[in-house]
Chain A
C-alpha cells in the first residue's frame, strides 16, 4: 500500500517490466529517472556502547561499496554511501532511519546490531517502504516484508550447537548463561524447550543464569558453574553473554582454571572481534557457533581478509560473522538490482527471493521466501592466536527459520513474502495470516 513515492511519476515501471531483460532496462532506467548515484544508507552506531561492534560493519559496507564502484557500480551508476550515527540510542535509530529514507532518499539500508534497535526501526521501514539488511544473529520470531535477515536465526546457530555438544561431545548437563535482554532470553527459552523435548534432558541438568549488561564480576558464577560441572555428568556452558561482559568472563574462567577439556563453553556472541581484547591462551578449546569464521580456508575468504586489511590499513584487523553477513547481503542486493534492473524496493523484494550468491566459506547463500538466508553452521574452537579452528560443520547449508518450532506460540507460524501469500506470520493451523499473536505473547512473557 505504501508504494514508494519516488516511482509515482513512472507508474508504468511495474514488477513485470522489472523482470524483463536487464540490459534494456538498465539503459531505460538510466535514461528515465534514476540518475546520479545509487544511495546506500548505513545505520550503524559509531559512538556509544555498541560502537565497539557496529563501527567495523560501517567500514565493511563502505569497503563493499568501493569495490562495487571499482567494477563500474550498478546499472551503470555509481554507489554512494550515506552514513548516519544512531549513537547506540534505540529511539535515535528510528529517527536516523527516517532521515535516511525521507531526507536522503536512500535505495537500501544496511544496519543495526541489537534486536532492540531493529524493533525500533521496523515500523519506519514498513511505513516508508525501505529495505533493511540486518547482519546479526538474532532470536527469530520475526519476519518483516522490508527486512532481510542475513544473520543466523536460532535454528542456524543455537540448535546445531547444542546438537554438536550432545552428539559429538557427549554433554549431559547445560549451564545456559546469558545477558539479561531479549536475545538471550528467547534463545534460552527455545534451547530449554528443545533440550527437554528432543533430548530428554532433566530439569536438574539445566542451569539458567542471567547477568546485567557489561557485568564484570564473574567470580561467583564461574565458581557455581564449576560446582555444577563437578557432579559427575559431562557439562557444558551455553553462553549468550553479550559484548563487553565476555572479556572478564573468559578471564575468570582462565583464572579459576576451568579448562575446555572439563567444561567447554560454547558461545553465540563471541567472535574474532570480541576476542581481540583477551589473551586467549587459557581459553584454547572453548567453542563458538557461527556461520563464518575468519579462519575459513577458502580463497574467497583470504581475498576478503586481504581487502579488509588493506581497507582498514591495520595488519591486525580481524573479520567476523556479521561482516560476512553484510558481504552476502550486499551481493544479494546487488544481484537483485541487476536482476530487476532498478533499485525500486518493491521490484527488489520480488527479485531478491531465490537469489543465490557465494558466501565466504565455500558454499552458497540463497534468499528464502521468509527473508532469511541459507547458511552453513560452523563450530569453532578458540586457538591461542585469537582465531577459531573449525572442528565441525553442517553437511549442507541450513535455511533460516523465522518462527521457532520449539516455542508453543510460534510453532504453527511461517513466513512467505512471495505472491500470493505475502505474509510474515501465516498460521498453518488456522490458515490465516497473522493468525497468532505469538510475537506479542512472546514479548509479553519476556517483559515479565
Chain B
C-alpha cells in the first residue's frame, strides 16, 4: 500500500474527517457542490452536512450512504467522476481521505460482486484486496474480477487539491508542507478565508511562508497591490506565472509593480541557471571520468587498446542488477554490496581477457583492437542470449531518488550527486594506489621501462595481470554507478566506449589527472553548448574541438614528460 505511514485509517482518517467536515463547503464547490448537497439529501441521512458533530456520530456506520458515494464513481464519464469526487469531499465520512487517496493511486476498484475494494498490491496477476467500506482483508482476487475506477490527469489534480485542503489541518508537519506546496496557485475565493485563519495558527515557518505566498497569489489575482510584497524574491515558477499574468492586468500600478518584482526575480534566476548548468556539466563529466578512468589505466598506463572496456562496464551494471535480484526488497543494501561485487566480477573478466587474448598480442595494437572488439561482441551476445535482450530494471533506492532543493529554482538531483561523489572517491583511491603502494610503483616501473624493471626483479607478467584487473575492476565500478543513471542492457557499454577513449586521449595518455580534468571539462563544455546548439550539435562541436586540440597538442592536456614518454 502506498499510504504514507501516518495516514492509517485510525489517525489521519478521523482527523481528516472532522476537519474535512468543517472545511468541506469551502474546498471544492462550483456548482458541483449543489449536486453533492442533492446527493446527501437523497440519502435520507437526517443529518446536515453543516454540523460536524452530528456527522461524526452517524457517518462511520452508514455504509449505505458510503456505497452510494462510491457507486457514483463507477461511471465512464470523467466529468461525472469529478462530481462524484466532490460529493465524497463534501460527505462527512471519515474514510473519505482514504478513498480519495486510494482513488488517486488507482487502487480503488470494484469486484465482480459489486463490492468496492482497495487493492493493496497490484503487481502480478492476483492481487490482495481489502473491503473499502469495512477495511477487512478479502484475500486475493484475480485482476479479471476487478474493475479499476480509472482517473485521468484532471481528476488527479482535483484529488490532490482536495487532499491538500484536508491535509492543511493534519497533525503531521510533512503532510502540511506537501499540502502548502500543492496549494500554491490553487487558492480560490472559497479557500482564501479559511486559509488566512490557518496561517495565523500555523506553527511551522516553512509551511506558513508557503501559505502566505499561496494566499498572496490569490490576492494579486484580485488586484491587491500589497500582495506583490509577499511574492517579492520568490523563485517558484507558479509565483512567476502569477506575476506574469499581473503584468498584463488592467491596473497599470499593479502591472508596473509586478514587472519590477519580475525583473528582480529574473536576475536571481540567471545566477541559478548558471549554477545549474555547472552542476549538469560536472555531473555529466563525472560519468565520463568514471567510464574513462579504468581505460586510463589499461590504455593510458599499459597501452592496451581494449575495445571490450564498455562491456566490462556493462558487467558491473549487470552485477548490480543481479545483487538486487538476490536481495529483493533491499535495493540500497544491494547497491552498496554491488560496489565490491561489481569490481570483482569485472576484474575477473579482465584477467580472463588478459590471460586469454591480450598477452599473446603484446605490441600488436591493431590485432589487440580487433580481438578485443570481437570479445566485446561476444560478451554482448552472451548477455543477450544468457539473460535477455531486454533491459533489466535496476531500482534506485529511496535515498538516491529525487533532488535537494537549494531554492525554488535550483534543485540538485540526488542520484547524480552520489555519482559525482563516487567518481571523486574512485579517482582518489586510484591515485593512492598508483602513488603510494608497491603495486603502483611496480606498474609505473614496468610501463616506463619493461626490461629494466624486470632486471630489477619485478615480475612483469604479474604486474600486467594486476594492472589490467585493476583497470577492469574500475570499469565495473563505473557500471555500478551507471546502473543508476541509464539503461542496464546489452548495449550499455557501446554508448560509453567512444566517450571513454575521447576523454583519455584528450586528457593525455598515461595521466590520471588528465583524465579527471578532461572528463569534467568536456562535461561542462557539453552542457554549456547544449541549450543553444542542441544535443546533436553539441556532441559534434565537442568532437571537432578535440580533433583540433589533438592537432595542436598530440599528447593531450597533460602530456607525459621525460624519457619514458619518448619510449
A264 part of interface (Cβ distance < 8 Å) = yes
Considering only residues 282-313 of chain B, those with a C-beta below 8 Å from chain A are: 283-284, 287
Nearest B residue (CB) for A180: B536
Given the interface contacts A55-B389, A256-B403, A256-B411, does A285 sit within 8 Å of B156 by beta carbon? yes
Q: List A228-261 residues whose CB lies under 8 Å from chain B.
A: 230-232, 244, 247-248, 251-252, 254-257, 260-261
Q: Which residues of B contact A212 (CB under 8 A)?
A: 535-536, 539
Q: Are B487's CB and A244's CB within 8 A?
A: yes
Q: How far is it, in angstroms, between the C-alpha of A74 and the C-alpha of B389 when the chains are bound?
A: 32
Partner of A391, one of B78, B147, B393: B78
State in angstroms the CA–CA spacing of A298 and B275 once bound together. 52
In contact, B487 and A277 (Cβ under 8 angstroms): yes
Main secondary structure of the interface of A (DSSP, over half): mixed
Question: B residues within 8 A CB of A302?
Answer: 144
Q: Are the CB atoms of A261 and B401 closer together than 8 Å?
A: no
A381, B150: Cα distance in complex, Å: 10
* B50 CB-CB contact with A under 8 Å: no
Residue A211 interfacial (CB < 8 Å) = yes
Q: Which residue of B105, B153, B489 is within 8 Å of A381 (Cβ)?
A: B153
- B388 nearest CB across to chain A (Å): 9
Q: A55-B389, A210-B536, A212-B539 are in contact. Are A230 and B487 (CB under 8 A)?
A: no
- The one of B106, B241, B280 in contact with A219, judged by C-beta atoms closer than 8 angstroms, is B280
CA distance A154 to B153 in the complex (A): 24
User: B416 to nearest A CB, angstroms?
Assistant: 7
Q: Which of A43-51, A112-120, A368-376, A397-405 forms contacts with chain B?
A: A43-51
B396 proximal to A (CB < 8 A): yes
Interface string of A315-335 (1 = CB under 8 A from B): 100000000000000000000
Check if A209 sits within 8 Å of B535, measured CB to CB. yes
> Given A256-B413, A260-B153 in contact, is the A244-B491 Cβ separation under 8 Å?
yes
- Total A-B residue pairs with C-beta atoms closer than 8 Å? 154
Which of A31-39, A65-73, A382-390, A433-441 lines the interface with chain B?
A382-390
- Among A46, A55, A261, max chain B CB count under 10 A is at A261
Q: B528-560: which residues lie under 8 A (CB-CB) from chain A?
A: 530-531, 534-536, 539
Determine whether the beta carbon of B241 is less than 8 Å from that of A247.
Answer: no
Which residues in window 319-368 of A have CB below 8 A to B? none
C-alpha gap A393/B106 in the complex (Å) = 19
A248–B487 CB distance below 8 A: yes
A230 touching B237, Cβ below 8 Å = yes
State in angstroms the CA–CA spacing of A276 and B488 once bound together: 11
* A16 located at the interface, meaning its Cβ lies under 8 Å from any Cβ of chain B in the complex: no
Q: CB of B435 within 8 A of chain A? A: no
Question: Contact at A277–B277, with CB atoms within 8 Å?
Answer: no
Of B63-71, B90-98, B122-130, the stretch lying at the interface with chain A is: B122-130
Q: For the complex, give the distance between the alpha carbons of A392 and B153 in Å.
A: 11
Known: A230-B240, A252-B413. A279 touches B485 (CB 8 A): no
Given A230-B240, A257-B403, A383 and B152 touching (CB < 8 A)?
Answer: no
Q: How far is the CA of A277 from the CA of B389 in the complex (A)?
A: 12
Interface size class of A (residues with CB under 8 A): 35 or more
A264 touches B153 (CB 8 A): yes
- Across the interface, which residues of A come within 8 angstroms of B157, CB to CB? 261
Give a binary string over B361-388; 1 marks a CB under 8 Å from any A CB, 0 the rest: 0000000000000000000110010000
Q: Does A389 lie within 8 Å of B150, measured CB to CB?
A: yes
Is B160 on the interface with A (CB-CB < 8 A)? yes
Near B by CB (< 8 A), chain A positions 180-222 give: 180, 209-212, 214-217, 219-221
B156-A261 in contact (CB<8A): yes
CA distance A279 to B487 in the complex (A): 12
B426 at the interface (CB under 8 A from A): no
Q: Is A310 an interface residue (CB 8 A)?
A: no
In this assembly, does A95 line the interface, its C-beta being within 8 Å of a C-beta of chain B? no
Answer whether residue A282 sits at the interface, using C-beta atoms and an 8 A cutoff.
yes
B414 at the interface (CB under 8 A from A): yes
The answer to the question of B495 belonging to the interface, with a C-beta cut-off of 8 Å to chain A, is yes
**Would you give the shortest CB distance from A47 to chain B, in whole angstroms?**
6
**B125–A219 contact, CB under 8 A?**
no
Which B residue's beta carbon lies closest to that of A229?
B237
Q: Does A273 contact B (CB under 8 A)?
A: yes
Using A256-B411, A261-B160, A389-B150 as known contacts, say yes or no to A276 and B535 having CB atoms under 8 A apart: no
Question: B2 an interface residue at 8 Å Cβ cutoff?
Answer: yes
Flag if B241 contacts A210 (CB, 8 Å).
no
Is A102 interfacial (CB-CB < 8 Å)?
A: no
Is residue A443 contacting chain B, with contact meaning CB distance below 8 A? Answer: no
Q: Would you call B154 an interface residue if the criterion is a C-beta within 8 Å of the partner chain's C-beta atoms?
A: yes
Shortest CB-to-CB span from A243 to chain B, Å, is: 9
Contact (Cβ within 8 A) B384 A51? yes
User: What residues of chain A lie closer than 8 Å to B124, measured between beta carbons?
Assistant: 315
User: Which residue from B393, B487, B495, B535 sits with its C-beta under 8 Å from A211?
Assistant: B535
B101 within 8 A of A: no
- Interface check B206, CB cutoff 8 A: no
Question: How many Å lie between the Cα of A294 and that of B262 in the bound state?
Answer: 47
Partner of B486, one of A216, A384, A391: A216
B471 close to chain A: CB less than 8 A? no
Q: Is A244 a contact partner of B535 (Cβ separation < 8 A)?
A: no
Q: Mark B508-542, 1 if CB is under 8 A from A, else 0.
A: 00000000000000000011001100111001000
A21 within 8 A of partner (CB): no
Q: Residues of B contacting A251 with CB < 8 Å?
A: 396, 415, 485
Q: Assess the B150–A390 pair: CB atoms within 8 A.
A: yes
CB neighbours (8 Å) of A169 from chain B are: 153-154
Q: When chains A and B are docked, how far (Å) is the Cα of A363 from the Cα of B219? A: 52
Across the two chains, which residue of chain A brings its CB closest to B155? A391
B188 interface hit (Cβ, 8 Å): no
Whether the Cβ atoms of B403 and A47 lie closer than 8 Å is: no
A180-B536, A244-B489, A391-B78 known; A52-B144 Cβ under 8 A: no
Shortest A300–chain B CB gap in Å is 13
Given A219-B284, A230-B240, check contact A384 B106 (CB 8 Å): yes
Closest B residue to A247 by beta carbon equals B487
Binary CB contact string for chain B from 128 to 154 against chain A (1 if under 8 A, 0 otherwise): 000000000000000010011011111
Bound CA span A46–B380, Å: 12
CB distance from B284 to the nearest CB of A (A): 5
Q: How far in angstroms is the closest Cβ of chain A from B566?
A: 38
Which A residues are CB-close (under 8 A) to B342?
none
Question: In the complex, which residues 37-85 of chain A have their Cβ closer than 8 Å to any Cβ of chain B?
Answer: 46-47, 49, 51-52, 55-56
Docked-complex contact A232 and B245, CB < 8 angstroms: yes
Using an 8 Å CB-CB cutoff, how does the interface string of B100-112 with A read, 1 for contact, 0 for none?
0000011000000
* Cβ distance A325 to chain B, nearest Cβ, rounded Å: 19
Complex Cα distance A287/B152, Å? Answer: 10
A287→B156 CA distance, assembly (Å): 13
Please, which residues of chain A bring their CB within 8 A of the CB of B284? 217, 219
**A382, B78: Cα distance in complex, Å:** 17
Question: Which of chain B's residues have a CB closer than 8 A to the CB of A20?
Answer: none
Q: Chain B residues near A99 (CB, 8 Å)?
A: none
Which residues of A have CB within 8 Å of B531?
Answer: 220, 224
A223 is an interface residue with CB less than 8 A from chain B: yes
- Selected A-B contacts with CB under 8 Å, 7 pairs: A55-B389, A169-B153, A216-B486, A247-B391, A260-B156, A302-B144, A391-B150
Q: Which 9 A-B pairs have the closest CB atoms?
A: A230-B237, A277-B391, A51-B389, A391-B152, A255-B413, A219-B280, A216-B486, A211-B535, A232-B241
Given contacts A51-B389, A232-B241, A277-B487, 11 further A-B pairs with CB under 8 A are A209-B534, A212-B539, A214-B495, A220-B277, A256-B413, A257-B403, A257-B411, A285-B153, A315-B125, A384-B106, A389-B150
Interface residues of B (CB under 8 A from A): 2, 78, 105-106, 122-125, 144, 147-148, 150-154, 156-157, 160, 237, 240-241, 244-245, 276-277, 280, 283-284, 287, 380-381, 384, 389-393, 395-396, 401-403, 411, 413-416, 485-491, 495, 526-527, 530-531, 534-536, 539
Tell me the A residues contacting B by CB distance below 8 Å: 46-47, 49, 51-52, 55-56, 168-169, 180, 209-212, 214-217, 219-221, 223-224, 226, 230-232, 244, 247-248, 251-252, 254-257, 260-261, 264, 273, 276-279, 282, 284-285, 287, 297, 302, 315, 381, 383-385, 389-392
